[in-house]
Structure 1
Amino acid sequence: MSSVIEQSVQARMVASAPRMETLPATLQYDRRDPFAVRMAFPAPATLEGTEVSWEFSRELLAAGMEGPAGVGDVRIRPFGYDRTVLEFHATEGIAMVHVRTAELRRFLRRAEELVPSGQEHRFLDLDRSLTNLLGGAC
């Protein structure tokens, strides 16, 4: 069984214009980092022209589909019946994207099969994390 889940999703960039641009994005979950979810946007979809990746907690994603969640760089909330808004706050500004809630639920179900919620601690590699933190000095 693979330790990584990747799922492509279609995100819709919220802009001031009435038409929202559709962007490809990839959600990723790795059981070696069981608390985190990554959402990456490919280079052509970003203002910088380089891939941009955001990391946030799986718990935040789940909570944000039910009600407003997050107070930092990533904030998530439901939008209507079938969409979820993800807000990414950076010094350059705020990017807001809509993603179909069903796609996010499917992703979280797959992550749950890989690492059940509440069992994340069983998948942590503390020795490797400590080595990385100390720059390989262990």
Structure 2
Amino acid sequence: MNNLVHKTLVVQLQAGAADRFPVLAHFSYEADDPFAVTVVFSHDGRVLARWKLDREMLGEGLSRPVGLGDVRFRPVSNGPWQELCMEFYGSPHPDGGRHHAAVFVWAPGVAAFLRETREIVAPGEEQVRVDDFLAEVIAGG
């Protein structure tokens, strides 16, 4: 059985007041970390950012706004084009502002990726191997 799902999508990055800019988003899911989806954003072979996201929250963001902290998701409709807006917020500045970036992803691509993850580990069947985790921590891994 395959324990890994990977999908690469071209997404649109928008930081601050700048126009959208195409980058790659590499989505990955591993059964060993059943609650998380890792997304690596890259451009010209350079990693721009790496985020570990909540799989359930990512799915909910396809149909309604979710998130209150540094990561927020919401559906966006531009005519027939359905997108997921993924918003990322940085640490506060002394002036009270925060760095902010929005990534616009083709929603059907994210939905297809999530369907594949659910074939590996269905929602509600996630298991965390606490003993294995503690053994790794104690061993210094």
Structure 1 and Structure 2 fold alike (TM over 0.5) = yes
SS in 1 for 2:57: helix
Shift of residue 111 of structure 1?
Answer: 0.2
Question: Which one-letter code corresponds to 1:56 in the other structure?
Answer: L
User: CA offsets, 1:73-102, max 9 Å, x none?
Assistant: 210000115101001112261110100000
Deviation sequence 1:20-73 (CA, Å, 0-9, x none): 21101100111100000111012648xxx6452101110110111110001122
From the two aligned structures, give the one with the greater strand fraction. Answer: 2
**Offset, 1:2:** 2.2
SS at structure 1 position matched to 2:86:
strand
After superposing on structure 2, the runs of 4+ consecutive aligned residues of structure 1 that deviate more than 4 Å are none
* Number of the residue aligned with 2:100: 94
Structure 2 residues not aligned, in runs of 5+: 92-97
SS at match of 1:89: strand
CA distance in structure 2 between the aligned counterparts of 1:33 and 1:72, rounded to whole angstroms: 22
TM-score (norm 1): 0.85
Amino acid of the structure 1 residue aligned with 2:6: E
Root-mean-square deviation (Å):
2.1
Partner amino acid, structure 2, of 1:120: E
Alignment of structure 1 residues 1-138 onto 2, 5 Å: 1-15=1-15, 16-17=17-18, 19-42=19-42, 44=44, 50-80=47-77, 82-91=82-91, 93-121=99-127, 124-134=128-138, 136=139
Bigger helix fraction: 1
- Are the structure 2 counterparts of residues 98 and 118 from structure 1 closer, same or farther at C-alpha, using a change threshold of 3 Å? same
Q: TM-score, normalised by structure 2?
A: 0.83
Answer whether contact 1:40 1:53 (CA < 8 A) is retained: yes
Q: For residues 14 and 105 of structure 2, what CA distance do their matches in structure 1 show?
A: 11
Report how many aligned residue pairs link the two structures: 131
Secondary structure in 1 matching 2:87: strand
Can you give the 5+ residue segments of structure 1 that lack an aligned partner in the other structure? none
